[in-house]
Amino acid sequence: MTLTKRTNVSNIGRRSSARLPTIRSAVILLESECAVFDVSERGARILLRDPMTFPETFKLSIDSGPPRVCRIAWRKNNELGVEFLDSHGPAGTSRARTGESRRGNREKIFDKAIIVYNDGFCTMDCQVIDYSEDGAKLKALNPRDCPTYFQLRIKHGPTRNCMVLRRNGYEIGVRFLPD
């Protein structure tokens, strides 16, 4: 199997979480080898020799990690887009094992928002993926251009002062600051 690295950004708007370009070995637990080209918390894009013979759900082990239960989201030539049906992260590690914790429960809201910075002179469009009383996860096209401190204006919600905690692909994790 010849592998070439490709980045497909045309489907970014349809995904609920950003995928990170990668080339990693993986095994579908149907005794068939594949290559993983990008992976997120919610799914991956894999390359197979014959994707049309696969069942709608199967188990996938990435980098010899624990098996992940997957569902086929789309098929194109010898590629499959798969959605993870379990609650583990991209490398097969659960949030509890990585030490990540939150004080409040997050609510998925998928609402449009604007990041405002430089005393209101600069803005950046984003989407709020989930939201809690302490912070939020945002999706932006240029998260590296976002400053560490900014104001978040949610279309159908409050305006909050924020501090960036992490940047991962197109996602920004923020903590809300006191007003």
CATH number at residue 48: 2.40.10.220
Mean pLDDT over all residues of the chain? Answer: 76
Q: What is the pTM of this model?
A: 0.43
pLDDT at position 52 is 60
Domain contains 1: no
For the ranges 5-19, 46-60, 79-93, 103-117, the lowest mean pLDDT is seen at 5-19
Whether residue 29 is found in the same domain as residue 82: yes
Determine which helix (DSSP H) or strand (DSSP E) holds 96, and give its type and residue range. helix 95-98
Counted domains in the chain: 2
Say what the pLDDT of residue 51 is.
Answer: 60
**Could you tell me if 94 and 110 are in contact, meaning their C-beta atoms sit under 8 angstroms apart?**
no
pLDDT digits (tens, 9 = 90+) for 71-123: 888 888 888 888 888 765 444 333 333 334 455 566 777 788 999 998 889 99
Residues 85, 125 within the same domain: no
The 10s digit of each residue's pLDDT in 114-166 is 999 988 899 999 999 888 888 999 999 888 888 999 999 988 778 899 999 88
Strand 79-84 versus strand 68-76 pairing type: antiparallel
pLDDT attached to residue 138: 93
Phi-psi region of 51 (alpha: psi -120 to 50; beta: other; left: phi over 0): alpha
Closest of 69, 60, 90, 93 to residue 168, by C-alpha: 90
Looking at the structure, tell me whether residues 83 and 112 fall in a common domain: no
